[in-house]
């Protein structure tokens, strides 16, 4: 990449906080502010504050906004009620995943599609192309929003002190317009950490004011600023896939164990339908590889791309791996041949720089919060 | 961050204490390196008796995001490895110049390009 990385509206603030920055999908983002392990634990036990302004917002409006999204995406988007959100995917004609998305229905004829930063242009282009013939408009709103997330068990209390919005009535995967600390915001009860939490879409000009208000309101509850490093270990423990790792154009939702997001029963055709029917059939009859969890018996950490081995043969590949602060052991998500994918399968190892380290096969997720 | 004046430094971000009367020096990684790595979660250190060669890998440090080779700043024989760091790798982050030391080595040869504290500070400021 030759272009200089993009900076979020909170860039100066991150630097003032002493953040270690990293280039992520063309953005200069905070990797961590202090210890990523401490940030991880803060989110699990108290609260963490994230700048996620790199995420790509795309607005779809018009009388046929729902029809367009039902055609362009694999989910039943017309069936999403106003004020609710849906986790879904956009696939190519071959059923390969172009991106995983969260779609918010803001009004009858208005949706906000949130794409991964690395795929925002691909998703924008695909939606624009697929909109041909629909009475709907696709708008690039990447520069219209900054995105702050408050995640962790203390987050409802922290947010409540800054807004009159009905947070108790705001269910998981719902979003409503409101005002937080005097700032107009779309308040969504979503996240990527495995904890309760909120994502706040605001105008970039308001981002710094909101960050300061949240920091102040969360001080007593132990809220800390959190970088992308702990966001990755949090989502990994929660068994949530990351595009480019568990999800790629070479995988279908069924390969990734996420076939439930594909709604064949919805009205009308959609891009990838035929290929996805075949992928579903294949996954049920002869699953090529399954996505599983691996927990280390030792201390060396598996990384994306490392081979999973059994009986001296390669039986899979690690897609994500990290030391788990919650489990206190290295963990990984891996695609593993069905014969070795059952939880409890013996004799499975990961090849870590030539040495076969023993791993336990487990079902995902590694961590589930107590409700 | 400040680099202790009494230490010398490699461009691979290890520090080396002055050798004692037996020619044995202590080796660790710098605060700069520890900050760059992030939380160290696993340290594979050379074993007592290992012959190490300046500039060559003699172990590894694993952090949340990556694994990094540990390079020998001098040539010699390892006389001690810090078991405290093996048991609690976070020491490398919290006390890189003190309790987070990695191993001791009886020096037989050392490269000419080890840096003083001021030179290392300038090297990492670049």
Where residue A66 falls among pLDDT bands split at 50, 70, 90? very high
Where residue A284 falls among pLDDT bands split at 50, 70, 90? confident
Q: What is the C-alpha separation between B13 and A187, in angstroms, rounded?
A: 45
Chain centroid offset of residue A166 CA: 25
Of B11, B4, B2, B41, the C-alpha closest to B26 is B4
Taking CA atoms, what residue in A is nearest to B60?
A300
Q: How many CA atoms lie within 13 A of A74 on its CB side?
A: 29
pLDDT at residue A13, as a whole number: 98
When the candidates are 3.40.640.10, 2.60.40.10, 2.40.50.100, 3.40.50.880, the CATH number that belongs to B8-109 is 2.40.50.100
pLDDT in tens, A326-366: 999 999 999 999 999 999 999 999 999 999 999 999 999 99
Check if A18 contacts B (Cβ < 8 Å).
no
B119 contacts: CB under 8 Å, gap ≥ 6:
B9
Would you say A119 and A98 are in contact if contact means Cβ atoms under 8 Å apart? yes
Where residue B2 falls among pLDDT bands split at 50, 70, 90? confident
Mean pLDDT of B87-96: 96
Give the single-character DSSP code of A242: -
Phi, psi at B119, each rounded to 5°: -65, -40
Structure tokens at A367: 């961590």
Would you say A59 and A139 are in contact if contact means Cβ atoms under 8 Å apart? yes
- Transcribe A305-361 into DSSP letters: TPEEEETTEEEEEEEEEEEETTTTEEEEEEEEEGGG-STT-SSEEEEETTEEEEEEE
Q: Is the pLDDT of residue A2 over 60?
A: no
B16 contacts: CB under 8 Å, gap ≥ 6:
B7, B8, B9, B10, B25, B26, B27, B73, B74, B114
CB contact under 8 A, B42 and A301: yes
A 306-345 residues with CB < 8 A to B: 322-323, 330
Where residue A3 falls among pLDDT bands split at 50, 70, 90? confident
CB contact under 8 A, B39 and A31: no
Percent above pLDDT 90 for chain A: 95
Of A194, A195, A215, the C-alpha closest to A153 is A195
Of A204, A102, A184, the C-alpha closest to A143 is A204
Mean pLDDT of B81-105: 97
Best residue of B1, B64, B91, B95 to probe chain A, by most A CBs closer than 10 Å:
B64
Domains and CATH numbers, chain A: 6-53+145-237 (3.30.1360.120), 56-130+252-288 (3.30.70.1400), 289-371 (2.40.30.110)
Structure tokens at A206: 């308001």
Q: What is the C-alpha separation between A208 and A187, in angstroms, rounded?
A: 17
Mean pLDDT of A178-200: 97
Mean pLDDT of B62-79: 94
Q: Is the pLDDT of residue B58 over 70?
A: yes
Write the CA distances from A59 to A56, A141, B13, integer angstroms: 10, 6, 48
CB contact under 8 A, B38 and A322: no
Best residue of A301, A306, A332, A350 to probe chain B, by most B CBs closer than 10 Å:
A301
E-state strands within A92-242: 97-107, 110-115, 137-140, 146-151, 175-180, 183-188, 197-202, 223-225
Nearest-CB residue to B65 (from A229, A300, A353): A229
Considering only CA atoms, give the Rg of chain A.
Answer: 21
Give the single-character DSSP code of B101: -
CB contact under 8 A, B62 and A301: yes
CB contact under 8 A, B67 and A233: no
Bond before A365 cis per omega within 30 degrees: yes
Best residue of A21, A300, A323, A331 to probe chain B, by most B CBs closer than 10 Å:
A323
Q: What is the C-alpha separation between A327 and A293, in angstroms, rounded?
A: 13
Q: Is the pLDDT of residue B1 over 70?
A: no
Q: Is the pLDDT of residue B29 over 60?
A: yes
- A85/chain B closest Cα distance in angstroms: 32
Nearest-CB residue to B41 (from A31, A301, A303): A301
Q: Is the pLDDT of residue A86 over 70?
A: yes
Residue with tokens 């989502």: A235
Mean pLDDT of B90-119: 96
CB contact under 8 A, B38 and A31: yes
pLDDT in tens, A113-127: 999 999 999 999 999
Best residue of B39, B59, B66, B68 to probe chain A, by most A CBs closer than 10 Å:
B39
E-state strands within A18-167: 20-24, 27-32, 47-51, 56-61, 85-91, 97-107, 110-115, 137-140, 146-151
Check if A301 contacts B (Cβ < 8 Å).
yes
pTM equals 0.93
Mean pLDDT of A53-79: 98
- B77/chain A closest Cα distance in angstroms: 25
pLDDT in tens, A157-179: 999 999 999 999 999 999 999 99
Q: What is the C-alpha separation between B69 and A203, in angstroms, rounded?
A: 44
Rounded mean pLDDT of chain B? Answer: 95
End-to-end CA distance of chain B: 15
- B19/chain A closest Cα distance in angstroms: 32
The residues spanned by each domain of chain B are 8-109
pLDDT at residue A4, as a whole number: 86
């Amino acid at each position: 990449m030759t272009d200089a990385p993009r900076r979020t509206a909170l860039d100066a603030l991150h630097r003032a906080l002493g953040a270690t920055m990293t280039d992520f999908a063309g953005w200069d983002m905070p990797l961590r502010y202090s210890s990523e392990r401490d940030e991880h634990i803060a989110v699990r036990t108290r609260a963490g504050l994230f700048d996620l302004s790199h995420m790509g917002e795309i607005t779809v409006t018009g009388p046929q906004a729902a029809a367009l999204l039902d055609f362009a995406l694999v989910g039943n988007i017309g069936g999403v009620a106003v004020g609710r959100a849906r986790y879904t995917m956009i696939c190519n004609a071959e059923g390969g995943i172009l991106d995983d998305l969260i779609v918010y229905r803001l009004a009858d004829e208005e949706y906000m599609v949130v794409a991964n930063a690395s795929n925002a242009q691909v998703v924008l282009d695909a939606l624009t192309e697929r909109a041909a013939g629909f009475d709907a408009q696709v708008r690039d709103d990447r520069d219209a929003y900054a995105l702050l997330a408050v995640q962790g068990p203390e987050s409802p209390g922290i947010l409540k002190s800054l807004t009159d919005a009905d947070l108790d009535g705001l269910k998981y995967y719902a979003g409503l317009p409101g005002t937080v600390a005097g700032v107009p915001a779309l308040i969504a009860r979503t996240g990527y950490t495995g904890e309760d939490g909120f994502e706040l879409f605001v105008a970039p000009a308001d981002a710094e004011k909101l960050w300061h208000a949240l920091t102040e309101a969360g001080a007593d509850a132990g809220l800390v600023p959190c970088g992308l490093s702990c966001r990755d270990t949090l989502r990994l423990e929660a068994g949530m896939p990351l595009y480019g790792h568990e999800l790629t154009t070479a995988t279908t939702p069924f390969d990734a164990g996420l076939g439930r997001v594909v709604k064949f029963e919805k009205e009308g055709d959609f891009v990838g339908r035929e290929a996805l029917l075949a992928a579903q059939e294949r996954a049920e009859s002869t699953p090529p590889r399954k996505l599983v969890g691996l927990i280390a018996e030792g201390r060396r950490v598996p990384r994306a791309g490392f081979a999973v081995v059994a009986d001296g043969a390669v039986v899979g590949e690690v897609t994500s791996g990290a030391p788990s602060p919650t489990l206190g052991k290295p963990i990984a998500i891996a695609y593993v041949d069905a014969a070795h994918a059952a939880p409890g399968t013996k004799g499975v190892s990961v090849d870590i720089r030539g040495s076969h380290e023993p791993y336990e096969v487990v079902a995902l997720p590694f961590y589930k919060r107590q409700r | 961050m400040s680099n202790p004046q009494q230490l010398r430094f490699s461009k691979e971000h290890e520090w080396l204490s002055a050798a004692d009367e037996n020619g044995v020096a202590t080796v660790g990684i710098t605060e700069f390196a520890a900050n760059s790595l992030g939380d160290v979660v696993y340290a594979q250190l050379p074993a007592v008796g290992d012959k190490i060669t300046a500039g060559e890998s003699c172990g590894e440090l694993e952090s949340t995001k990556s694994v990094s080779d540990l390079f020998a700043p001098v040539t010699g024989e390892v006389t001690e490895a810090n078991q405290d760091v093996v048991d609690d790798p976070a020491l490398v982050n919290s006390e890189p110049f003190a309790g987070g030391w990695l191993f001791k080595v009886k020096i037989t040869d050392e490269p000419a390009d080890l840096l003083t504290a001021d030179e290392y500070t300038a090297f990492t400021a670049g």
